């Protein structure tokens, strides 16, 4: 094989919003698989909000990417050379290879995909980590009951779209929050949410209140910031808040100035008996088999729909990722690295 490996490295750490200069595209010789490993041609690369945290120094719930290292990410790849008995040339697998066109992976870390069961890119979205996050976070922490109101932000995205649809399957009323008319129309008309509110509207808090006449029983937190400010007063007694993500603050370089609102928030947590519970999806990994079975069935029955935003070419990844943090993606953001 005469091809070389194209890789996108972390060139520098961003201060605030990432820019193209924080990434570097390089060429490298194709890596060779060792015993028990396979060489993959990457077909799809998942772009996800968590990658912004990995670009910062210092450990959060995972180690940062070092400067000069390849950007990390979930991938779907085709085996082009195998030195593992369970994998043959041509097999399509889920791996965590990163922003590159070829990768060596340990066979033990891979999951074989069945291209006849579902488009393989869905292993990075509705049938993968984001879909699982929605399923486990909503059902384990949110525990929606029939007739309750479930609100989710970033509702047209990979996690939010699944949260609202699963809430409806459980008999709850789903209210989405999304940015702009096109995303709002999709959430209401295509995904079947009961109501949707545009967080960019000047009177967003009033619109949200009108969309939730019985208050909010479950708020699936994906964004934080002004959206959280509008949601918080509407939480009912015994409301549950799975804290999944805070994308509105991922680009903050320093804490925002302002009065200390923590005492007031804690008073309300106490007096309204609120459950506010953060989570990282992997803590629920024992639920993966149930998730895979149930969500595949819901997709087959049309109860869960999904939208992918596919951009072409590895070199498009930095710009697409920068856009994700600004809400420019529309659906699960995936890079098609090879046909
Ligand atoms: P996504 O919804 O496909 O894309 C991100 C969306 O966030 C954007 O399209 C935008 O939608 C919205 N957004 C961006 N900046 C915003 C802002 N300042 N205010 C309000 N909305 C903003 O992404 P995703 O993969 O589904 O992830 C959603 C959230 O889940 C993220 O916070 C992510 O970090 C989190 N997550 C957590 C876990 C976990 O284990 N805890 C796992 C996966 C994902 P609009 O244009 O509609 O505003």
Residues 252 and 169 in one domain: yes
Find out whether the beta carbon of 74 lies less than 6 Å from any atom of ligand 1: no
Residue whose entry in the numeric block shows the structure tokens 């605030």:
16
Could you tell me if 100 and 8 are in contact, meaning their C-beta atoms sit under 8 angstroms apart? yes
CATH label of the domain that carries residue 183: 3.40.50.720
Say whether both 225 and 172 belong to one domain: yes
pLDDT less than 70: residues of the chain: 1-2
What residue owns the CA closest to ligand 1's atom 27? 159
Taking each helix axis from N to C terminus, what angle separates 129-136 and 158-169, rounded to the nearest 10 degrees? 40
pLDDT at 9: 98
Contact of 86 with 26, CB cutoff 8 Å: no
Q: Which residues contact 9 (CB under 8 A, 6 or more apart)?
A: 23, 24, 25, 26, 68, 69, 70, 71
- The pLDDT tens digits for 44-65 are 999 999 999 999 998 778 889 9
Q: Residue 331 and residue 134: Cα distance in Å, rounded?
A: 14
CATH number for the domain that contains residue 70: 3.90.180.10
Atom 2 of ligand 1, nearest CA residue? 157
Q: Could you tell me which residues are beta bridge partners of residue 278? A: 243
CA of 170 to the centre of ligand 1 (A): 23
Helix (H) or strand (E) holding 197: strand 195-198
Rounded CA gap, 78 and 102, in Å? Answer: 9
Nearest CA to 173 among 147, 199, 153, 197? 147
Are 12 and 120 part of one and the same domain?
A: yes
Atom of ligand 1 nearest to the CA of 243: 41
In this prediction, residue 27 carries a pLDDT of 97
Task: Tell me: do 99 and 133 sit in the same domain.
Answer: no
User: Does residue 204 line the site of ligand 1, with CB under 6 A?
Assistant: no
Are residues 47 and 152 located together in one domain of the fold?
no
The 3-state DSSP class for residue 285 equals helix
Q: Strand 149-153 vs strand 173-178: parallel, antiparallel, or unpaired?
A: parallel
Given a contact cutoff of 8 angstroms between Cβ atoms, the answer to whether 95 and 337 are in contact is: no
Sequence length of the chain is 339
Cite the beta strand spans of 274-329 per DSSP E. Answer: 275-278, 308-312
133 and 101 in a single domain? The answer is: no
271 DSSP assignment = H
Q: Could you list the residue range(s) of the whole structural domain that residue 117 is in?
A: 5-125+307-336
> What pLDDT is attached to residue 1?
54
- Measured in Å, residue 73 CA sits from the centre of ligand 1 at 16
What is the model's pLDDT at position 257? 87
Q: Give the number of domains in the chain.
A: 2
Taking the C-alpha atoms of residue 334 and residue 127, their distance in angstroms, rounded to an integer, is 13
Contact 231, 209 (CB under 8 A): no
SS3 35: coil
| Predicted local confidence at residue 229, as pLDDT | 96
Report residue 71 as tokens. Answer: 């950007």
Ligand 1 within 6 A of CB of 175: no
| Ligand 1 pocket, residue 178 CB under 6 Å | yes
CA of 154 to the centre of ligand 1 (A): 5
């Amino acid at each position: 094989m005469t091809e070389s490996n194209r890789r996108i490295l972390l060139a520098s750490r961003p201060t605030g919003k990432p820019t193209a200069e924080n990434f570097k595209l390089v060429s490298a010789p194709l890596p060779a698989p060792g015993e028990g490993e396979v060489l993959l041609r990457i077909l799809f690369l998942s772009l996800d909000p968590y990658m912004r945290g990995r670009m910062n120094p210092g450990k959060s719930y995972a180690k940062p990417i070092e400067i000069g290292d390849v950007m990390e990410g979930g991938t779907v790849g085709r085996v082009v050379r195998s030195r593992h008995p369970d994998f043959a040339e041509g097999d399509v697998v889920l791996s965590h290879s990163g922003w590159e066109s070829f990768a060596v992976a340990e066979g033990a870390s891979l999951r074989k995909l069945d291209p006849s069961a579902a488009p393989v890119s869905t292993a990075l979205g509705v049938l993968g980590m984001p879909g699982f996050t929605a399923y486990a976070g909503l059902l384990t922490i949110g525990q929606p009951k029939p007739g309750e109101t479930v609100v989710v932000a970033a509702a047209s995205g990979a996690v939010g779209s699944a949260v609202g649809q699963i809430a409806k399957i459980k008999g709850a009323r789903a209210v989405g929050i999304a940015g702009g008319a096109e995303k709002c129309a999709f959430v209401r008309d295509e995904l079947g949410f009961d109501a949707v509110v545009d967080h960019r509207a000047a009177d967003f808090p009033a619109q949200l209140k009108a969309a939730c006449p019985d208050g909010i029983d479950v708020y699936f937190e994906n964004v934080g910031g002004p959206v959280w400010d509008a949601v918080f007063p509407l939480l009912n007694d015994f409301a549950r808040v799975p804290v999944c993500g805070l994308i509105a603050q991922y680009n903050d370089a320093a804490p925002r100035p302002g009065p200390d609102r923590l005492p007031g928030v804690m008073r309300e947590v106490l007096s309204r008996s609120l459950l506010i519970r953060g989570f990282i999806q992997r803590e629920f990994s024992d639920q993966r088999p149930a998730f895979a079975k149930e969500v595949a069935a819901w997709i087959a029955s049309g109860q869960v729909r999904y939208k992918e935003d596919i951009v072409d070419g590895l070199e498009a990844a930095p710009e697409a990722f920068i856009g994700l943090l600004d809400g420019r993606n529309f659906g699960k953001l995936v890079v098609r690295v090879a046909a």
